[in-house]
């Protein structure tokens, strides 16, 4: 193999990975799998895809070795191959927000049209947690919370929040978080909490980004 053939092979393999991610549904699937393992049926439900379509997208990601399967008896669950897959996805997202003005405008305009509140960064949250006068609220589905969550976070899924407001202290600030900056569970939670008279805001990013920085996390086994 000469130098040109070598470069063509290497860059070709790298292009295969980027090509496998070059689809909006597959990008959403990667973000979802950064939370926990899911079956194809669960992925289809969360992404509003048909089971057949979700399965096809998963096969593309699997051929590129970005996802792998975990067999549990008669059930098959999909998961990210390793944390570098989410790192690559996050780098692409961050580059897009930084360099493509349309993305930032879409996020900003969406939030402005529906919500009116500030977000907090990871560093902001760490300082608030040190002060002790803050309640951290995970509003993702309970199954994702059990797989992993920010240490000391309380789990109230967004679809249960309106009925469980009495579980939250009135005096403390509430910081809600969900799957990431494009996830609106936390936005809906802050809107609901604010309307009910709570002081609330959302974490700018989500659990996967927190975990990626090796900040304190917990797993619920029961």
Q: Which residues form the catalytic set?
A: 178
Residue 90's contacts (CB-CB under 8 Å, 6 or more residues apart) are: 208, 209, 212
In degrees and rounded to multiples of 5, residue 82 shows phi and psi of -170, 180
End-to-end CA distance of the chain: 55
Q: What is the largest CA-CA distance in the chain?
A: 69
C-alpha angle 70/76/80, rounded to 5°?
45
C-alpha angle 121/48/191, rounded to 5°?
40
Strand order in the sheet with 134-138: 119-120, 200-203, 173-177, 134-138, 154-155
**C-beta separation of 62 from 21 below 8 A:** no
114 burial level (CB within 10 Å; 0-12, 13-18, 19+): exposed
What is the rounded CA–CA span in Å between residue 94 and residue 204? 13
């Amino acid at each position: 193999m000469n130098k040109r053939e070598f470069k063509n092979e290497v860059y070709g393999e790298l292009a295969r990975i980027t090509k496998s991610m070059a689809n909006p549904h597959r990008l959403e699937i990667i973000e979802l799998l950064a939370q926990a393992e899911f079956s194809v049926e669960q992925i289809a439900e969360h992404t509003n895809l048909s089971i057949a379509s979700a399965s096809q997208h998963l096969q593309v990601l699997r051929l590129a070795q970005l996802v792998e399967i975990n067999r549990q008896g008669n059930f098959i669950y999909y998961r990210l191959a390793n944390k570098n897959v989410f790192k690559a996805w996050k780098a692409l997202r961050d580059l897009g927000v930084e360099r493509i003005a349309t993305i930032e405008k879409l996020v900003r305009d969406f939030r402005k049209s529906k919500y009116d509140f500030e977000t907090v960064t990871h560093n902001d949250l760490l300082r608030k947690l040190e002060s002790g006068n803050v309640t951290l609220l995970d509003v993702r589905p309970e199954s994702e919370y059990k797989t992993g969550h920010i240490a000391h976070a309380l789990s109230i899924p967004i679809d249960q929040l309106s009925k469980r407001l009495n579980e939250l202290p009135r005096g403390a600030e509430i910081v809600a978080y969900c799957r990431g900056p494009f996830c609106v569970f936390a936005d809906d939670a802050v809107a609901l909490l604010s309307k009910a008279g709570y002081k609330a805001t959302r974490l700018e990013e989500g659990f996967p980004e927190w975990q990626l920085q090796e900040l304190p996390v917990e797993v619920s086994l029961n």
